[in-house]
């Protein structure tokens, strides 16, 4: 249901455009690179930091067995390395290879490339106005994410 608040409606309109354009480019990159969206999602999860096969499955909304199969395909494509944890052989360490990091970087560039086109249509004055507004939004959004101060 659209908002009756014009400010919220404008934000919602921007989010729709931003997500549609960004995701379109990621999907096109995914097809071009021969990777599924789930595989790209796995690379992003692995890039964030250490996680187990079950954590990866949870993040992607798939079973641990499906996550393990996907990881095996990524190993075969030389996008990740999977090895035993030296402290617990039951745990697998999963890291991106140089090729995996390159693919991830290229997908980010594909997702953001349309912003360069958009930026080229804006005047210096418009860019300043938008930056000021975005900095306010970023600041307020970060404040919402901070835990509340404990009561004395």
Burial 42-75 (b: 16+ CB within 10 A, else e): bbebbeeeebbbeebbebbebeeeebbebbeebe
Give the mean pLDDT of 24-29. Answer: 93
Question: Confidence class of residue 31 from pLDDT cuts 50, 70 and 90?
Answer: very high
Buried b (16+ CB within 10 A) or exposed e, 110-135: bbeebeeeeeeeeeeeeeeeeeeeee
At residue 131, the pLDDT reads: 97
pLDDT tens by residue, 93-124: 888 999 999 999 999 999 999 999 999 999 99
What's the pLDDT at 77? 96
Q: How far apart are CA 144 and CA 29, in angstroms?
A: 33
Picking from 67, 40, 43, 42, the residue whose alpha carbon sits closest to that of residue 53 is 67
Q: Note the pLDDT of residue 88.
A: 76
Q: What is the pLDDT at residue 20?
A: 95
Q: What is the pLDDT of the chain when averaged over all its residues?
A: 90
pLDDT over 90 at 52, yes or no: no
Regarding predicted confidence, which is higher, 9 or 82? 9
Q: What are phi and psi of 36, to 5 degrees?
A: -80, 165
Burial class (CB in 10 A: 0-12, 13-18, 19+), 103: buried
The tokens describing 90, both together, are 């039951």
CATH architecture of 6-145: Orthogonal Bundle (1.10)
Quick one: average pLDDT of 53-76?
A: 92
Where are the chain's structural domains?
6-145
Looking at residue 93, what is its pLDDT?
A: 82
Which pTM does this prediction carry? 0.73
Q: What is the pLDDT of residues 76-87, one digit of tens each?
A: 999 999 877 777
């Amino acid at each position: 249901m659209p908002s009756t608040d014009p400010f919220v409606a404008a934000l919602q309109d921007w989010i729709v455009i931003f997500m549609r354009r960004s995701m379109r480019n990621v999907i096109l990159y995914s097809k071009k690179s021969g990777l599924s969206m789930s595989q790209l999602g796995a690379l992003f999860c692995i890039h964030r930091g250490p996680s187990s096969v079950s954590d990866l499955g949870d993040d992607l909304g798939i079973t641990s067995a499906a996550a393990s199969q996907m990881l095996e395909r990524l190993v075969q494509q030389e996008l990740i390395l999977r090895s035993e944890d030296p402290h617990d052989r039951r745990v697998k360490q999963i890291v991106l290879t140089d090729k995996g990091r390159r693919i991830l970087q290229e997908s980010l560039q594909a997702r953001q490339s349309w912003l360069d086109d958009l930026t080229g249509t804006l005047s210096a004055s418009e860019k300043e106005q938008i930056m000021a507004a975005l900095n306010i939004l970023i600041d307020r959004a970060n404040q919402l994410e901070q835990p509340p101060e404990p009561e004395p």
